[in-house]
Amino acid sequence: MTDQVRTIDYGYAATAQERNKVLRNTYWLLALSLLPTVAGAWLGVATGITRGLTGGIGLMVFLGVAFGFMFAIQKTKNSAAGVPVLLGFTFFMGLMLSQLLVAILHFKNGPGLIMTAFGGTAGVFFAMASLSSVIKRDLSGMGKFLFVGALAVMIGAIINVFVGSTTGMLVISVMVIGVFSAYMLYDLKRIIDGGETNYISATLALYLDLFNVFQGLLMILGLTSGDE
């Protein structure tokens, strides 16, 4: 291992300059992706366009469109269409988030809860970014365990859509924050180590981590701190 090239367990070598470029482009695109998210959330709150997407029907629409977008992003990540497709996905995610935002805004302290969740998410990101820059250990082995955790969270969330348990929702939200905070560290470390060389794929992964942590925090705050 030299100062210029690190050979890692992902099976290829990446220069420090390449890794820094991917990380820099990822941060820029991640910041840009928040704009369509905010626009989609605002549109959803202002118009109520997603009001009817509840229960099983809403779940099927969300999963179908979200996975369709993610498939399209992976197919276009090496072309000029990759960024617009990613931004379209983040707009859609903002639309779907608007349902939760509307529920939170019904509380007197709703805006404060949203800002608290936003600040908490930013804090988690800062902490994970700092950790990823100082941890020298290869974290690639975490991937399989995090995938199992994310799968368990998704199955639990789907079940709870039909059960409607408040306690279940709290437990799932706590799990979401834990799993996707760890995923954030894992994804950032992959970029830093050269395991991810496409900034569009890297942005998608980090965006999903941030989105889920924010949603989990907002859910917990709404369930425990909401003031009618």
Domain ranges of the chain: 11-225
Closest CA to 141 of 7, 1, 9, 5: 9
Structure tokens at 139: 């974290």
Helix (H) or strand (E) holding 142: helix 142-163
Closest CA to 120 of 189, 191, 184, 194: 184
Q: What is the largest CA-CA distance in the chain?
A: 60
For the chain, helix, strand, coil in percent to 5 are 80, 5, 20
CA-to-CA dists, residue 14 to 4, 26, 29, angstroms: 9, 16, 21
pLDDT values of the chain reduced to their tens digit, one per residue, 228 residues: 334 333 334 444 457 788 888 889 999 999 999 999 999 999 999 898 877 666 667 778 878 888 899 999 999 998 889 999 999 999 999 998 998 898 898 888 889 999 999 999 999 999 999 998 888 887 878 888 888 988 998 888 888 878 777 888 899 999 999 999 999 999 999 998 888 889 999 999 999 999 999 999 999 998 887 565
Residue 14 β-bridge partners:
6
The pTM assigned to this predicted structure is 0.87
Using a CB cutoff of 8 Å and minimum separation of 24, what contacts does 173-177 make?
Answer: 173/215, 173/216, 173/217, 173/219, 173/220, 173/223, 174/216, 174/220, 175/149, 176/212, 176/213, 176/215, 176/216, 177/124, 177/212, 177/213, 177/216, 177/217, 177/220
CA distance 94 to 97: 5
CA distance 63 to 79: 25
